[in-house]
Amino acid sequence: MIRVRNPGRLNVGILASGRGSNFEAIADAIERGDLNAEIKLIISDKEDALVLKKGAKRKIPVLCVKPGDFSDAAVYERALIAAFRSAEAELVALAGYMRLIGDEFINAFPYCIVNIHPALLPSFRGLNAQRQALEAGVRFSGCTVHIVDRGMDTGPIILQAAVPVCGDDDEESLSNRILEEEHKIYWRALRLYCEGRLYVEEKKVLISEEKDRRK
Ligand code: GRF
């Protein structure tokens, strides 16, 4: 069993491709004092990603690193690793990042790359998870924060939240209901890193008891 990290303030890097609402929820938790962390750098692979504007507005360093500017994926990811390292990020939170992560990147931040996925994993991995849930006719879906491994949405699960699927749901209404929960659990998963409460045993994340009860 491996303890992932000792307690203390967490330096976070964000890697995102789009709108950035999960980034904002994490940044809000830090501002409220619910999460003892600092967002050191936001990187997007898309020049026009809203997350870059949102980050800059909060005076967080932002960077666009485009895969097309590099000879291959490994070289591109080396640039990401270098940027996060020089910003002193110790954990990378994927927040709507639409690419798989390669070995070198995973090894550069052992157990410290996390992702949020809009389904109750291991169901409905990959793209359009909310549509997959609707098509399968499940009564509940939700979201999952997990440690990133080589697979697509296959890594050890840290936290999950469930929501009901209603008879009249479409992709948008279900996505919105799930997104509300995403915004509640992502920063809480990061807080477990800050508190040094995460252990990994093979494919499972164990969470040690909290010392004092809180929300
Ligand atoms: C979220 O639904 C998240 O679960 C998925 O991508 C979406 C990102 O949304 N991985 P946002 O950019 O954080 O608003």
50-57 and 21-32 are packed helices; what angle lies between their axes, rounded to 10 degrees?
A: 20
Q: What is the pLDDT of residue 211?
A: 66
Tell whether ligand 1 has an atom less than 6 A from the beta carbon of residue 54.
no
Ligand 1 centroid to 21 CA: how many Å?
7
pTM of the full predicted structure? 0.96
**Nearest atom in ligand 1 to 21's CA:** 14
Cα–Cα distances in Å, from 194 out to 90, 112, 160?
A: 11, 12, 18
62 touches 15 (CB < 8 A): no
Question: For residues 77 and 64, what is the distance between their CA atoms, to the nearest angstrom?
Answer: 13
SS3 158: strand
- Look up residue 184 and give its DSSP letter: H
Ligand 1 centroid to 96 CA: how many Å?
4
SS3 174: helix
CATH code of 2-207, in short, is: 3.40.50.170
Q: Single out the catalytic residue among 5, 40, 117, 177.
A: 117
Q: For 162, how many CA atoms within 13 A lie in the half-sphere containing its CB? A: 7
- The phi, psi pair for 174, rounded to 5°, reads -70, -40
Ligand 1 centroid to 22 CA: how many Å?
6
- Token pair listed for 40: 């050191």
- Token pair listed for 14: 């964000």
Residue 183 bears catalytic tag: no
- Which segments of the chain have a pLDDT < 70? 211-215
Tell whether ligand 1 has an atom less than 6 A from the beta carbon of residue 20.
yes
Q: What is the pLDDT of residue 210?
A: 74
Q: Give the tens place of pLDDT for each residue, 177-209.
A: 999 999 999 999 999 999 999 999 989 999 998
Tell whether ligand 1 has an atom less than 6 A from the beta carbon of residue 144.
no
- Look up residue 202 and give its DSSP letter: T
Whose C-alpha lies nearest to ligand 1, atom 6? 96
SS3 115: strand
Q: Give the tens place of pLDDT for each residue, 85-108.
A: 999 999 999 999 989 999 999 999
Q: Is 38 exposed, middle or buried (0-12, 13-18, 19+ CB in 10 A)?
A: middle
**Nearest atom in ligand 1 to 175's CA:** 2
